[in-house]
Amino acid sequence: MRRRAAIVVPAMLLGMVLSGCGGSPEAQEDAGLLTLAAPRDLVAGPQDPYFTHQTLRVWEPLVNVDDKLRPVPALATSWESAEGGRRWTFTLREGVRFSDGTALNAEAVVANVQRFLRIAPRQSAFFSLDAGMEAAYGQLEEVRADGGRVTFELRRPVADLPGRLAGFFSMVQSPKAFAASGDFAANPVGTGPYTLARWVKGQQAELAANPHYYGAAPAYKKIVVKVIPDANARVAALRAGEVDGLIDKGALLSGQVAAVAADSRFRVVRSPSALTHYLTFNGSREPFSDPRLREAAELAIDRRTIAEKLLAGTAKPGAAFLSPVFGDLSDPGVAASYDPARARALVSAAGRPAAPVTILISSAETGQFPYTDVAEVLRAAFEQAGLPAKVTMAEATKAVMEAGDYDVFLSAYSVPNGDADYLFRRFLRSDAAWNVDRKLGYRSQEFDALVDQAATETGQAERRDLYRRLQRLLAADRPMIPLAYQDNPVVTTTGVGGVVQNAAYVVDLGKLTPSSG
Amino acid sequence: MAFLLRRAAETLLVLLVLSVLVFLLTSMAPGDPAEEILRRGGIQPTAGSVAVLRAELGLDQPLPVRYVRWLSEVVRGDLGHSYVDRSPVTGEILARLPATLRLAGAAALVAGGLAVLASLRPRGLGGRVVTAVTVVVASVPPYIVGILLISVVAVGLRALPTGGDSGPGALVLPALTLGLAGAATLTRLLRADLAQALALPFVRLAAAKGLSARRAVTVHALRVAAPNAITAGGAVLADLVAGAVVVETLFSWPGVGQLAISAIRQRDVPVVQAYVLVIGAATVLLLALVDLCLAAADPRVRRR
C-alpha cells in the first residue's frame, strides 16, 4: 500500500504540473519592475471610448483635478475665458509627443473632442459618455484649433469648463489610433509616461516606460497591474509578497484597512474621494413629506459612529451637501448635529407615523460598503426617536423608488470631475430626473434660480458664495442628507514611495519611486 | 440505432427547454441593464441616453422577438456582445474555456486519484487517511478550504502562488480545493461498489486461482463496478464545473466561472446568458455521453 501511494501521489502532482500551460515562472524582483493589483481590469480594450483607465498614465487629458477637485494643468498649461464664459481658450504644453513619436498639436485635440461627440452616448467600463459628457460639452457650439491653441465656443456661458473637462472627458490620444467607427484601430497611443506593452484581458496589463515622454522618465521601467477581483485574494497576494501594492477604487474594503495598516511591511494611503454616501428622502408621501420628521430623522443619526465604526474610519461624518474635496466650495458653516432628545420631541410634535418607514438599500452595493449594517443602525436610531422602521434590500432599487415604495434610500454618489453643478442639477433641481422619477417631491424656486445663477457665474468668490447659499438651503430643506464622505484607501509595501491619489481614484503611476522604508 | 435516435431527440428537446429557461431567467431579472451600464462610478445617467442605449441593445423589443433573435444568433455560434465593453461574447468564452477545463481536469485527477487510493485498500493506512480527509473536507465549503490553503501554503509558507495563472505551480491549490470536494462523493460511491465487486464469487475464484490482487481488481472487479463509476464520474464532473465558479473567484483563476461572477456583478446580461447556456449544454451533453457509455457497458440499458 505504501509503495502504491509513493507512485500515485507523485504521479498526480506530475499530472497537475503537466496539465499547466507554459506560463512564465514568476519574474524575479528586479529594480525596474513594479507589480500592483486592482479589483478590476484597468484596460477595457479597443471598443471602449478610452481603451485604458486614466490611472495607467497611457494617455493624458487637457486638464486634471487635484485632491481638492480643482482643475490643474495637464496637456493644457493654461486657459482663459472670454465673453463671460462663452469662449474658452486652452494653451497646449510645448514639446509633447505621442508614444509613436508624432507631435501633439491643437488639431489632434480637436479630433479627440469631435470623436467623443460623434460616438456619445456610449457605455464604457470606466465613465460612460453620458451625463458627464453632457456637462462638459452640452453647450458646445464649435471647437477649433487656432494658432496652436484650442478654442471652445459655447452657446451659453459655462463658468467652470476646465473643471468639467478634467480627466476622462478631455482625453487626448493620437487621431491615428482611432478607426473610422470611433473604436480603436489597434493599441492606445497617448502622451503619458507609460505605454500599454501587453494586455491579457481580465488578467493583467503590462506597462512599459514611454521613450517619447516629455517629462522626467518614470522610476519604474515596467509596471504590471494584475486583476484580482476578490478582496481577500488581493490582500493575500499582498501578504505573500506577490504584489507591491493595491490600487484603484475599492482596493481595500473598509473592514480590511485596520489590519493591513497595522502591518509594518505596508503603508496605507488614505485620500478623500468624490464619493459621498447620501440618504435620499421620499418627500412625496407621509411621513417624510413633513419637514419636521425629516429633521427628526437627521438628528437621530449618529454620523460619527457610522463613519468611524461601521465604515472603519475610511469615511468622515457628512455635513455640507458638497464634500470637503470640493475645497472652498464646500460650506464649512453647515454642521451635522446629533440630538436624539430633540428628534424624539419633533416626532411627538408631528405625530408618530402608524406604519414603519422603509429604509431601502441596493443589493448591488452591499459588497462594496457595509450597507446592511449601516441600514440596521439607521433603523435602530429611527426607532429610538419614535419612528418605527424596517430595512428592505432590493435588487432593482430604481423600480422600487419610481413606484414611490420607500421612505429613505441609502446610496453613494460621485461626480464625473470637478463639476459641483452636476450634483445640484442632476439630483435636486425641480426638473432633475432623480428628483422627479424617484419621488423626492422637492420643489424650490429659490434653489433652481441659485443653481442656474451659479453655473454661469465666472467670478470665483461670487460662485463660492452662491454654492454655499445652496448648501445652507439644502441643510434647511433636507431633500437628501450627506451621511459620510468616503475616502479611498490604497496600499503599497514600504519599498514603494511617492503614492499620490487624486479625488477621482487616480494614483499617479508616473510618480511612484522605490523608497527605503 | 433506434436507441441512439431516441436519445438524440430527447437531448435536443432538453437543450431547447434550457435555452428558453436561460433566456427568461436572465431577461426577466429586475432592473434596467441600460441604466446599470451607463451608471459607472456612481454617475446618474440621463434619461435620453438610457433610451438610446435600450434601443441599441434591442431591449425595447417584446420578449418573444428578442428570444427568437437571440436563439437564431446562438445557433450560428454568435453569443452577442458584452454590454460592458462591447466585445463579442463567443470569443470571450472561448478564450477562457481552456483555463476552466485545465482546472476541472486537474481537479478530476485529484478526485479520481484519491478515490481509487481510498477504495483499493479501505482498511490500509492510506485508505483510512484519505477517507478521513475527504469526510472532513466534504463537510466544509470549498471557499473555506481554499482560504485555509491560501493562508497556510501561499501566504505562510510562500510555497505556491496565492492565485492567478502564472505558471504550473499556480494550478496546484485551486485544483486541490476543487478536487477534494469531488473526492468525497466519488470515494463513497466507488468504495461500496468495489467492495461488492470484490466479494463476487467469480472475482474471489480468480483470486483463489492465484491471480495477483492487482489483476483481480483491475481486470475483473473494476469491470463489474464500471457502470456505477461512470455515472458517478459524470455527476462529479458536472459538480466540478459548477464548483469552479467559487474556486476561480477565490484564486483569480482566469476561467469562465470568474468571467460569470464579474458579469453578474456588472449586470452584463449577454455574458451571464452565454455562461449559463454553455455550462448547461455541456452538462446535458455530458449526461447524454454517460448514458451512451452505460449502454455500451451494460446491454440491459439499451433494452429499457
List chain A domain ranges: 30-244+495-516, 273-487
Q: Which of A9, A16, A125 sits opposite B171 (nearest CB)?
A: A16
Which of B11, B42, B76 terminates a domain? The answer is B76
According to the model, what pLDDT value does residue A31 have? 64
- Mark residue A117 as left, alpha or beta (left: phi above 0; alpha: psi -120 to 50; beta: remaining): alpha
Task: Please check whether residues B23 and B123 belong to one and the same domain.
Answer: no
Q: Chain A contact for B28, CB < 8 A?
A: no
Neighbours of A179 (CB within 10 A): 10
Q: A19 to chain B: nearest residue by CA?
A: B102
Cα–Cα dist A60/A93, whole Å: 12
Task: Please check whether residues B135 and B278 belong to one and the same domain.
Answer: yes
Within 8 A of B162 by CB-CB distance, chain A residues are 233, 236-237, 240, 242
Within 8 A of A394 by CB-CB distance, chain B residues are 30
pLDDT > 70: percent of chain B: 94
DSSP 8-state class, residue B258: H
Whether residue B37 lies inside any domain: the answer is yes
Within 8 A of A367 by CB-CB distance, chain B residues are 265
pLDDT above 70 (res B303)? no
Q: Chain A contact for B173, CB < 8 A?
A: no
Neighbours of A312 (CB within 10 A): 17
* Nearest CA-CA distance, residue A340 and chain B, Å: 31
The average pLDDT across B206-210 equals 77
Report which of B183, B196, B181, B178 is spatially closest to residue B117, judged by C-alpha positions.
B183
Are A225 and A205 in contact by the 8 Å Cβ rule? The answer is: yes
According to the model, what pLDDT value does residue A391 have? 97
- Chain B from 62 to 121: CB within 8 A of any A CB: 83-87, 92, 95-96, 98, 102, 105-106, 109-110, 113, 116-117, 120-121
Direct distance between the N- and C-terminal alpha carbons of chain A, in angstroms, rounded to an integer: 53
Phi, psi (rounded to 5 degrees) for A349: -65, -40
Report which of A495, A492, A490, A497 is spatially closest to residue A512, judged by C-alpha positions.
A497
Task: Please check whether residues B72 and B112 belong to one and the same domain.
Answer: no
Whether residue B87 lies inside any domain: the answer is no
Q: B44 to chain A: nearest residue by CA?
A: A131
Residue B113 C-alpha cell reads as 486519484
Neighbours of B205 (CB within 10 A): 12
Task: Please check whether residues B98 and B225 belong to one and the same domain.
Answer: yes
* Nearest CA-CA distance, residue B109 and chain A, Å: 7
Q: How many CA atoms lie within 13 A of A117 on its CB side?
A: 14
> What does each C-alpha distance from B128 to A5, B186, B222 come to in angstroms?
13, 15, 21
Q: Do A241 and B158 touch (CB under 8 A)?
A: yes
Residue B215 C-alpha cell reads as 489483476
Report which of B124, B95, B56 is spatially closest to residue B256, judged by C-alpha positions.
B95
Task: Please check whether residues B149 and B261 belong to one and the same domain.
Answer: yes
According to the model, what pLDDT value does residue A12 have? 47
Q: A435 to chain B: nearest residue by CA?
A: B44
Within 8 A of B124 by CB-CB distance, chain A residues are 1
Q: How far is CA A16 from the centre of its chain?
A: 42
- Chain B from 247 to 286: CB within 8 A of any A CB: 249-252, 254, 258-259, 261-262, 265, 267
Longest dimension (CA), chain B: 85
Neighbours of A119 (CB within 10 A): 15
Q: How many helices (H) and strands (E) does chain A have?
A: 15, 21
Number of domains present in the structure of chain B:
2
Task: Please check whether residues B180 and B258 belong to one and the same domain.
Answer: yes
According to the model, what pLDDT value does residue B96 have? 93
pLDDT above 90 (res B36)? no
Q: Evaluate the omega torsion of the peptide bond into residue A121 and state whether it is cis, within 30 degrees of 0.
A: yes
pLDDT above 80 (res B199)? no
Kindly report, residue by residue over A57-80, the tens digit of the pLDDT. 999 999 998 878 889 999 999 999
Within 8 A of A8 by CB-CB distance, chain B residues are 113, 116-117
- Chain A from 9 to 68: CB within 8 A of any B CB: 9, 11-13, 15-21, 23-26, 40, 44-45, 47-48
**Spatial CB neighbours of B272, under 8 Å, sequence gap ≥ 6:** B26, B260, B263, B264
Cα–Cα dist B111/B134, whole Å: 10
Are B247 and B253 in contact by the 8 Å Cβ rule? The answer is: yes
Residue A57 C-alpha cell reads as 498614465
Task: Provide the 3-class DSSP secondary structure of residue A187.
Answer: coil
pLDDT band at residue B236 under the 50/70/90 scheme: confident
Within 8 A of A200 by CB-CB distance, chain B residues are 254
- Kindly report the CATH number assigned to the domain that includes residue B260: 1.10.3720.10
Q: Chain A contact for B31, CB < 8 A?
A: yes
Whether residue B185 lies inside any domain: the answer is yes
* Beta strands in A310-363, from DSSP E residues, in sequence order: 315-317, 357-362
Whether residue B210 lies inside any domain: the answer is yes
Q: How far is CA A402 from the centre of its chain?
A: 25
Q: Do A228 and B164 touch (CB under 8 A)?
A: yes
Q: A402 to chain B: nearest residue by CA?
A: B31
Q: Do B262 and A202 touch (CB under 8 A)?
A: yes
B2: domain range? 1-76
pLDDT above 60 (res B120)? yes
The fold of the A273-487 domain, in CATH, is: Dipeptide-binding Protein; domain 3 (3.10.105)
According to the model, what pLDDT value does residue A7 have? 46
> What does each C-alpha distance from A412 to A90, A327, A364, A369, A480 come to in angstroms?
33, 19, 11, 9, 12
pLDDT above 50 (res B269)? yes
According to the model, what pLDDT value does residue B6 have? 87
Give pLDDT tens digits along chain A (517 positions). Answer: 444 444 444 444 444 444 433 333 333 345 689 999 999 999 999 999 999 999 999 999 999 988 788 899 999 999 999 998 999 999 999 999 999 999 999 999 999 999 999 998 888 888 888 878 888 999 999 999 988 899 999 999 998 899 999 999 999 999 999 999 999 999 999 999 999 999 999 999 999 999 999 999 999 999 999 999 989 999 999 999 999 999 998 899 988 999 999 999 999 998 888 899 999 999 999 999 999 999 999 999 999 999 999 999 999 999 999 999 998 899 999 998 999 999 999 999 999 998 999 999 998 788 789 999 999 999 999 999 999 999 999 987 888 999 999 999 999 988 767 778 888 998 999 999 899 999 999 999 999 999 999 988 888 899 999 999 999 999 999 999 999 999 999 999 999 999 988 888 888 898 999 987 5
Neighbours of A326 (CB within 10 A): 26
Task: Please check whether residues B42 and B110 belong to one and the same domain.
Answer: no
Task: Please check whether residues B61 and B105 belong to one and the same domain.
Answer: no
* Nearest CA-CA distance, residue A346 and chain B, Å: 34
Are A177 and A187 in contact by the 8 Å Cβ rule? The answer is: yes
Q: Do A23 and B45 touch (CB under 8 A)?
A: no
Q: Which of B38, B40, B165 sits opposite A126 (nearest CB)?
A: B40
According to the model, what pLDDT value does residue A150 have? 97
Q: Which of B35, B167, B265 sits opposite A23 (nearest CB)?
A: B167
Q: How does DSSP assign A80-110, residue by residue?
A: EEEGGGTEEEEEEPTT-B-TTSPBP-HHHHH
Matching residue, cell 455640507:
A320
Are A448 and A473 in contact by the 8 Å Cβ rule? The answer is: no
Cα–Cα dist A3/A500, whole Å: 59
- Chain A from 99 to 158: CB within 8 A of any B CB: 120-121, 123-128, 130-132, 134
Confirm whether pTM is higher than 0.95. Answer: no
Q: Do A17 and B109 touch (CB under 8 A)?
A: no
Whether residue B272 lies inside any domain: the answer is yes
Whether residue B86 lies inside any domain: the answer is no
Task: Please check whether residues B127 and B265 belong to one and the same domain.
Answer: yes
Q: Do B48 and A17 touch (CB under 8 A)?
A: no
Report which of B86, B159, B23, B127 is spatially closest to residue A184, judged by C-alpha positions.
B86
Task: Provide the 3-class DSSP secondary structure of residue A170.
Answer: helix
Task: Please check whether residues B61 and B131 belong to one and the same domain.
Answer: no
Q: How far is CA A502 from the centre of its chain?
A: 10
Whether residue B85 lies inside any domain: the answer is no
**Spatial CB neighbours of A185, under 8 Å, sequence gap ≥ 6:** A46, A176, A177, A178, A179
Task: Please check whether residues B54 and B188 belong to one and the same domain.
Answer: no
Classify burial at A83, counting beta carbons within 10 Å of its beta carbon; exposed 0-12, middle 13-18, buried 19 or more. Answer: exposed
Lowest mean pLDDT among A232-241, A287-296, B102-111, B163-172: B163-172
Q: Evaluate the omega torsion of the peptide bond into residue A25 and state whether it is cis, within 30 degrees of 0.
A: no
The continuous run of DSSP H or E covering A377 comes out as: helix A371-384
Classify burial at A468, counting beta carbons within 10 Å of its beta carbon; exposed 0-12, middle 13-18, buried 19 or more. Answer: buried
Whether residue B166 lies inside any domain: the answer is yes
Within 8 A of B262 by CB-CB distance, chain A residues are 40, 202, 229
Report which of A394, A364, A359 is spatially closest to residue A376, judged by C-alpha positions.
A359
pLDDT above 50 (res B76)? yes
Matching residue, cell 509594518:
A264
The fold of the A30-244+495-516 domain, in CATH, is: D-Maltodextrin-Binding Protein; domain 2 (3.40.190)
Task: Please check whether residues B147 and B239 belong to one and the same domain.
Answer: yes
Q: Which of B46, B109, B116 sits opposite A131 (nearest CB)?
A: B46
